[in-house]
Amino acid sequence: MSAVFNVQPWIKFTATTVGRDKLYRAVQYFSRFLAWYLLRQGATKEIVARFNNLKKNLALSRKLMRIGKPIEHVESALAATSLRDESLRLLTIGKQLSYAGYLTLDALVFVS
């Protein structure tokens, strides 16, 4: 009996922006930890610099992937207008518009 590795869940996970962001974030934080650990263990500055550069490049990639994200939050705010509970509707709309505003400003800072 041969072991079959089903790659469909992995493909489905990485096909989404959220999935890629989680994967990038995990590698980014691990490279940050590894740079810190190697520095404490006396590794050369070049090796530590490689992991720091990886961390910085992944952070940049994650910011680039978030550029279109405010549109999703505005769409979610529009969808929340149909909620019956008034307080839930207002809070959801406020939350989604706040996220959209934050991500818009984040993109503007990134571009400038």
The predicted pLDDT at position 14 comes to 65
CB 37 within 8 A of CB 71: no
pTM for this predicted structure: 0.66
Q: What is the pLDDT of residues 71-108, one digit of tens each?
A: 989 999 999 999 999 999 999 999 999 999 999 999 89
Say whether pLDDT at 16 is over 80.
Answer: no
CB 28 within 8 A of CB 65: no
The predicted pLDDT at position 6 comes to 73
The span from the CA of 103 to the CA of 19, in Å, is 18
The predicted pLDDT at position 11 comes to 72
Say whether pLDDT at 1 is over 60.
Answer: no
CB 32 within 8 A of CB 56: no
The predicted pLDDT at position 110 comes to 83
DSSP annotation of 61? H
